[in-house]
Structure 1
Amino acid sequence: MFTVIVTLDVIPDRIDEFLDGLHRNARATLADEPGCLRFDVHRVADAPGRFMLYELYASERAFYDEHRAAPHYAAWRAVADRCVVPGSHVNTFATPAFPEDIPENAPRTDGNA
C-alpha cells in the first residue's frame, strides 16, 4: 500500500471552482481506478482555504502510473494550477505502518476482489 497526504492552500475567490474540480477528481479516481482504495478530502477547520487530502493506493504503481495517467487527473491539474496558491502544495508520501488494520485492506464482501 502507498499513502499520499496532500496539503494545499486555495486562492480565496477560487474556492468554489477548486471544490468542484477536486470533487470530480476524487469521485473519478475512486470509480475508475481499481488501485485507489481511499480518497478523502478535508478542509482545515480554522483555515477554510487550506485543504488536506488523504489518498490510499494499492501500490506506488497505482498512484504514479495509473492515477497520474488518468484523464481526470489532467483536468484536476488544470484546476489546481488556476486555484492553488503557488508554493503551498505539499505532497507527503508514506506507507502504512499497520496495513492489516486498514479497513480497505479487509476482504470485500460484495463479491468483488
Structure 2
Amino acid sequence: MYTVFVRLQIALEKRDEFVAGIRANARASLADEPGCLRFDVHQDATDPTTFYFYEIYVDEAAFETAHRAAPHYARWREVVAACVVPGTQQNTYALPLFPGDIPENPTS
C-alpha cells in the first residue's frame, strides 16, 4: 500500500469551484481506479482556505502512474491551477505501518 497526504490552501473566492473539483476527482478516483482504496477530503476546522487529502493506493504505481494518467486527473490539474494558492501544496508520501487495520473503502 501507498499513502498520500496533501495539504494546500485555496483562494477563498474560488472555494465553490475548488470543492466541486476535488469532489469530482475524489469520486472518480474511487469509482474508476481499482488501485485507489481511499480518498478522503477534509477542510481545516479553523481556516476555510486550508484543505487536507488522505489517499491510499494499492501501491506506488497505482498513484504515480494510473491515478495521474486518469482523465479526471487532468481536469483536477486545471482546478489546481485556478484555485490553489501557488506554493502552498505539500505532498507527503508514506507506507501504512498496519495495512491490515485500514477499514474498507466507504461508498459515500
What TM bracket, shorter-length normalisation?
A: over 0.9
Identity fraction in percent: 59
Q: How many residues align?
A: 105
Q: TM-score, normalised by structure 1?
A: 0.91
Name the residue aligned to 1:4: 4
| 2:33 matches 1:33 | yes
4+ aligned runs moved over 2 Å, structure 1: none
Distance 1:20 1:37 in 2: 21
**Structure 2 residues without counterparts, runs of 5 or longer:** none
Offset, 1:104 = 3.2
Offset, 1:20 = 0.5
Name the residue aligned to 1:63: 63
Name the residue aligned to 1:108: none
Name the residue aligned to 2:99: 99
Q: CA RMSD in A?
A: 1.0
| 2:92 matches 1:78 | no
Distance 2:86 2:64 in 1: 22
Q: TM-score, normalised by structure 2?
A: 0.95
Offset, 1:91 = 0.3
**Structure 1 residues without counterparts, runs of 5 or longer:** 106-113
- Give the greater-gyration-radius structure (CA): 1
